[in-house]
Structure 1
Amino acid sequence: MDSSVQHQPRIAFDAARILVDVSVADAGLFAWYCDQVAALLGPTYRRDLLATRKELATSQRIDVRDVEGGKWRVRLEDVLRTRPEVSEGLHQLTLAARVRLPRIG
């Protein structure tokens, strides 16, 4: 039995940041991530991830990454509030995606 306490707002924040990073990454990483998110949260999340990827690629806004990340943070907080059983899975997916992202700098 795991006795660790999970801070859902932090899990949502970290997941949203990584989600935005993955959404501008190469197609292979993005496809893997979409599959993982859809398996964890449901197929509608795949569609929404595709919309985010398109928005990040086409928007002229300089703050598009912040806007998309903020929208996802709120959405993920909501899902964690209503489905707390996915907290650990989302946290593990965030960690797995982070190590797959290319290092910059």
Structure 2
Amino acid sequence: MVVHTERVAWDGASAIVAALDSAALYPWLHGEVSGLLGVAAGDALRDSFRMLHGPQADRPFVETAKWRARLDEVVRAEPQVAGRISVLVTQVNARIAPIGLR
């Protein structure tokens, strides 16, 4: 199977940042990201959540770029994680659709 790392990274980053708009989804997402990518990624997610709920309006673009780079690096190093990231994207999209995020 060919993995399009850039697409997986972009979809993952977009979904993660969209979900961070909801304080209600954050605890679930934190658990999923920490379980999938490790404690350091969970810490980074916490930092992104704090930044997105701060005063800077352009922050979603910055945080999406950071997560895209982080996920791209993970998928390039461990291609088998791509499928799990794609599953996470599907789960995130299913959770944010009913609350109107994105």
Q: How many residues align?
A: 100
Counterpart for residue 95 of structure 1? 90
The normalised TM-score by structure 1 is: 0.87
Structural RMSD (CA): 1.6
- Quick one: which of 17, 22, 27 aligns to 1:25? 22
Measure, in 2, the Cα distance between the counterparts of 1:53 and 1:6. 28
Q: Is the 8 A contact 2:20 2:49 kept in 1?
A: yes
Measure, in 1, the Cα distance between the counterparts of 2:19 and 2:87. 15
Shift of residue 16 of structure 1?
A: 0.4
Measure, in 2, the Cα distance between the counterparts of 1:89 and 1:47. 19
Percent identical pairs in the alignment equals 30
Measure, in 2, the Cα distance between the counterparts of 1:5 and 1:32. 30
Counterpart for residue 34 of structure 1? 30
- Quick one: which of 1, 6, 13 aligns to 2:3? 6
The normalised TM-score by structure 2 is: 0.89
> Superposition pairs for residues 18-97 of structure 1, below 5 Å?
18-27=15-24, 29-58=25-54, 60-97=55-92
Measure, in 1, the Cα distance between the counterparts of 2:92 and 2:57. 25
- Which has the larger Rg? 1
Measure, in 1, the Cα distance between the counterparts of 2:7 and 2:17. 16
Q: Which residues of structure 2 form unaligned runs of 5+? A: none
Q: Which residues of structure 1 form unaligned runs of 5+? A: none
- Runs of 4+ in structure 1 off by over 4 angstroms are none
